[in-house]
Amino acid sequence: MSQAIENVASALTRIDQIDPRVRAMAAIWSDRATSRAETLSAPRDAKSPLWGMPVAVKDNICTLDGKTTCASRILEDFQSPYAADVVERLERAGAIIVGKTNLDEFAMGSTTENSGLFPTLNPWNPEYVPGGSSGGSAAAVASRMVEFALGSDTGGSIRQPASFCGVCGLKPTYGRVSRYGLVAFASSLDQIGPLATNAWQLAVLLGVIAGHDSRDSTCFDTPVPDYVSMLNEPMGRLRIGVAAEYFGDGVHPETRKAVESAIETLKKLGAEVSEVRLPHTKYVIACYYLICTAEASSNLARFDGVRYGHRTESPKDYFEVYSKSRAEGFGAEVKRRIMLGTFALSSGYYDQYYNKALRVRTLIRQDFDRAFEQCDAILSPTTPTPAFKFGEKSHSPLEMYLTDIYNCAANLAGIPALSIPCGHTSDGMPIGLQLMGKHFDEAKLLQIAHQFQQVTDFHKKRPAICA
């Protein structure tokens, strides 16, 4: 039996055993993955470490096979007529997609509670949220159903669930990976990225999905370095910046302790750690929510009940085809964000809200330009607290938005950022460390993460559900 067939069979068995208790998968592609593994039974191509490896793909990334639902009722039967660039690249590299993963509807949320399908549970403890919106991908990797998954990150949607589930996740530089075939939420912020169990795997997956695509005009033609071969290179003089703004009063004491201990580990690896300032951090969430909702209100206008997606039954006129199809098809959080974005863009409020947010975005971006004159990477907790319990924050949209406080700046500035495990709480929940880097400097972040993982074991600890 070829390695590919064995890998797929083993992944499908694990999904079968574990997924009923985690609910990470929106769709499981048993037959398709098995037959693809059989056709792949050619000699392994050494250049492609993903050859024959099972991968899970977030269900807002278009695949020709199966459905692409965005965990939304409005797309519950949608079958994409084309595949995303990242999906074509995965398949060219010999990866085998074993299923699509759950998410907050249209990637809008921080817990997967907003999924129109069902919530995903945190593999470390089912009372806790897995984070979101790529909660399905993070939970699938954490419970080792797969070791590789794709997510998307508009304001922390890869890093935050990676942190809550104790896995690694990377949001690449804006434009590093093609967005062709990613269902658009906020086009100036969205970016597809990898989730995996360690930094080496992140490097492998990023190397496959990164690169120019003429079908996404915001995708850059910058050469893709060999991320994997750079992992073990000596880091030389490594300057890590720490910003007081990312260690505020809201940081959980156990998170603070774990991150401070990681800083000591990096110092032993030769890093120089110094303080940097990111003075506009307190405005990040306000700025982010105005911009992302404005872009979402525009992007989601395409769901009109005419060309694809849900259409209301017996509309009384043409207007109702729009207004009732959309009201029936979208969940509460999606409607809320469309409303906020429409308001921020509406006549009389555009300058006060949307345009103001764009100007503050400039200042946030400039904070990073200045900070990166003094350092190569900025280190912080990925999230102020470890995973919280279901329902704990769902009563207040604003309180939920604030859980992404350390994540959204990287999207606003377009810079790469990753999250890796750096500890566990006394209750056994994972804690994540975030590293933000300069534009197109993913290699540096991966190198730091990999070398940290050579001397620590946090990423190797698995939830009991894996046993």
Partner 1 sequence: MTQIDEQQVRHIAHLSRLDLSDEEIAQYGRQLGEVLAYVEQLNEVDTEGVEPTAHAMPVSNVFREDVPAESLGVEKALQNAPDKATPYFKVPKVLDQQSA
Binding residues among 182-221 for partner 1 as defined by CB under 8 A: 188, 214, 217-218, 220
Q: Which of 58, 100, 438, 444 is catalytic?
A: 58
CB of 130 to partner 1, least distance (A): 24
Burial tier of 20 (Cβ tally within 10 Å: 0-12, 13-18, 19+): exposed
Is residue 224 a contact residue for partner 1 (CB under 8 A)? no
Q: How many residues bind partner 1 (CB under 8 A)?
A: 71
Binding mask 399-428 for partner 1 (x = CB under 8 A): --x----------xxxx-------------
Is residue 338 a contact residue for partner 1 (CB under 8 A)? yes
294-321 burial, b at 16+ Cβ within 10 Å, e below that, comes to: bbbbbbbeebebeebbbbbeeeeeeeeb
Answer for which of 43, 268, 307, 467 binds partner 1 (CB under 8 A) is 307
Is residue 321 a contact residue for partner 1 (CB under 8 A)? yes
Is residue 350 a contact residue for partner 1 (CB under 8 A)? no
Question: In whole angstroms, what is the distance from residue 410 CA to residue 200 CA?
Answer: 22
Answer for which of 76, 225, 343, 462 binds partner 1 (CB under 8 A) is 343
Neighbours of 116 (CB within 10 A): 22
Is residue 301 a contact residue for partner 1 (CB under 8 A)? yes
The smaller minimum CB distance to partner 1, of residues 237 and 307, is found at: 307
The smaller minimum CB distance to partner 1, of residues 343 and 390, is found at: 343
Give the largest CA-CA distance in the chain.
70
Question: Angle at Cα 219 formed by Cα 213 and Cα 222, nearest 5°?
Answer: 90
The piece of 5-13, 43-51, 122-130, 392-400 that touches partner 1 (CB under 8 A) is 392-400
Give yes or no: 297 in active site.
Answer: no
152, 153, 154, 159 alpha-carbon torsion, rounded to 10°: 150
Answer for which of 2, 342, 394, 456 binds partner 1 (CB under 8 A) is 342
State the Rg of the chain over Cα.
21
Q: 255-284: which residues touch partner 1 (CB under 8 A)? A: 280, 282-283
Is residue 78 a contact residue for partner 1 (CB under 8 A)? yes
Q: Which among 4, 6, 84, 12 is positioned nearest to 48, based on CA atoms?
A: 4
Q: Which of 157, 163, 178, 297 is catalytic?
A: 157
420-456 burial, b at 16+ Cβ within 10 Å, e below that, comes to: bbbbbbeeebbbbbbbbbbbbbbbbbbbbbbbbbeeb
Q: 117-156: which residues touch partner 1 (CB under 8 A)? A: none
Is residue 89 a contact residue for partner 1 (CB under 8 A)? no
The smaller minimum CB distance to partner 1, of residues 359 and 461, is found at: 359
The smaller minimum CB distance to partner 1, of residues 82 and 118, is found at: 82
The piece of 1-9, 37-45, 202-210, 321-329 that touches partner 1 (CB under 8 A) is 321-329
Answer for which of 330, 406, 452, 458 binds partner 1 (CB under 8 A) is 330
Give yes or no: 58 in active site.
Answer: yes
Is residue 290 a contact residue for partner 1 (CB under 8 A)? yes
Question: In whole angstroms, what is the distance from residue 195 CA to residue 201 CA?
Answer: 8
The CA–CA distances, whole Å, from 368 to 156, 171, 266, 301, 443 equal: 17, 16, 21, 33, 18
Q: Which tokens sit at 127?
A: 């009372």
Is residue 172 a contact residue for partner 1 (CB under 8 A)? no
The smaller minimum CB distance to partner 1, of residues 371 and 420, is found at: 371
Q: Which tokens sit at 223?
A: 């050469």
For helices 442-455 and 253-268, the axis angle rounded to 10 degrees is 90
Q: Which of 72, 80, 115, 133 is catalytic?
A: 133
Q: 356-385: which residues touch partner 1 (CB under 8 A)? A: 356-363, 365
Which position has the token pair 């750079």?
Answer: 230
Give yes or no: 157 in active site.
Answer: yes
Is residue 180 a contact residue for partner 1 (CB under 8 A)? no
Question: In whole angstroms, what is the distance from residue 54 CA to residue 38 CA?
Answer: 13
Catalytically annotated residues = 58, 133, 157
